[in-house]
Amino acid sequence: MSEVAIGIDIGGTCTCIGVVDKKGNIIAETSIPTQESRDFNVFIENLSTAISDLITPLKNLDLRGIGIGAPNGNYYKGTVEYPPNLPWKGVSSIVDKLKIYFDVPMVLTNDANAAAIGEMIYGGAKGIKNFVVITLGTGLGSGFVVNGSLMYGDDGFAGEAGHMTAIENGRKCGCGKKGCLETYASATGIVNTVKELLSNSKTKSSLRKIPENEISSKLIYEAAKDGDKIALEAFEYTGKILGISLANIVNITSPKMIIIFGGLAKSGNLIIKPTKKAMEANVLPVFRDKVNIKLSELSEENAAVLGASALVWKEF
Amino acid sequence: MSEVAIGIDIGGTCTCIGVVDKKGNIIAETSIPTQESRDFNVFIENLSTAISDLITPLKNLDLRGIGIGAPNGNYYKGTVEYPPNLPWKGVSSIVDKLKIYFDVPMVLTNDANAAAIGEMIYGGAKGIKNFVVITLGTGLGSGFVVNGSLMYGDDGFAGEAGHMTAIENGRKCGCGKKGCLETYASATGIVNTVKELLSNSKTKSSLRKIPENEISSKLIYEAAKDGDKIALEAFEYTGKILGISLANIVNITSPKMIIIFGGLAKSGNLIIKPTKKAMEANVLPVFRDKVNIKLSELSEENAAVLGASALVWKEF
B positions 156-215 inside 8 Å of A (CB): 156-161, 163-165, 168, 175-177
SS3 readout for A36-68: CCCCHHHHHHHHHHHHHHHHCCCCCEEEEEEEE
Separation in Å, CA of B40 to nearest CA in chain A: 21
For residue A293, pLDDT over 80 is answered with yes
The stretch B196-208 carries a mean pLDDT of: 96
pLDDT bracket for residue A184 (50, 70, 90): very high
Query: What's the pLDDT tens digit per position in B263-276?
Result: 899 999 999 999 99
Name the residue among A303, A301, A282, A302 with its Cα closest to residue A291.
Answer: A282
Contact assignment for A165 to B253 by CB distance below 8 Å: no
Closest CB to B177: pick one of A82, A165, A282.
A282
Asked if A223 contacts B226 with a C-beta cutoff of 8 angstroms, the reply is no
Q: For residue A274, what pLDDT is reported? A: 98
**pLDDT tens profile B29-72:** 999 999 888 899 999 999 999 999 999 999 999 999 999 999 88
b/e burial code for range A64-95 (CB count within 10 A of at least 16 → b): bbbbbbbbbbbbebbbbbebeebbbeeebbbb
A78-110 residue pLDDT tens: 999 988 778 898 899 999 999 999 999 999 999
| pTM reported for the whole predicted model | 0.93
> Does the structure show a pLDDT above 80 at A300?
no
pLDDT at position A41 = 94
Per-residue confidence band for A128, with pLDDT thresholds at 50, 70 and 90: very high
- Using one digit for the tens of pLDDT, what is the confidence trace for A5-31? 999 999 888 999 999 999 999 999 999
Q: Answer with the residue of higher pLDDT: B297 or B225.
A: B225
Q: Return the minimum-mean-pLDDT range out of A226-240, A247-261, A289-303, B278-292.
A: A289-303
Contact status of A119 with chain B (Cβ, < 8 Å): no
Which helix (H) or strand (E) segment holds residue B312: the answer is: helix B300-315
Strand, coil or helix: B141: strand
| CB-based contact A253 B156, cutoff 8 Å | no
Whether the pLDDT of residue A275 is over 80: the answer is: yes
A13 touches chain B (CB under 8 A): no
For chain B, what is the mean pLDDT?
94
Kindly give, in sequence order, each residue whose CB lies less than 8 Å from that of residue A299, ignoring residues fewer than 6 positions away.
none
Does A288 contact B at CB distance below 8 Å? no
| Cβ contact B248–A129 (<8 Å) | no
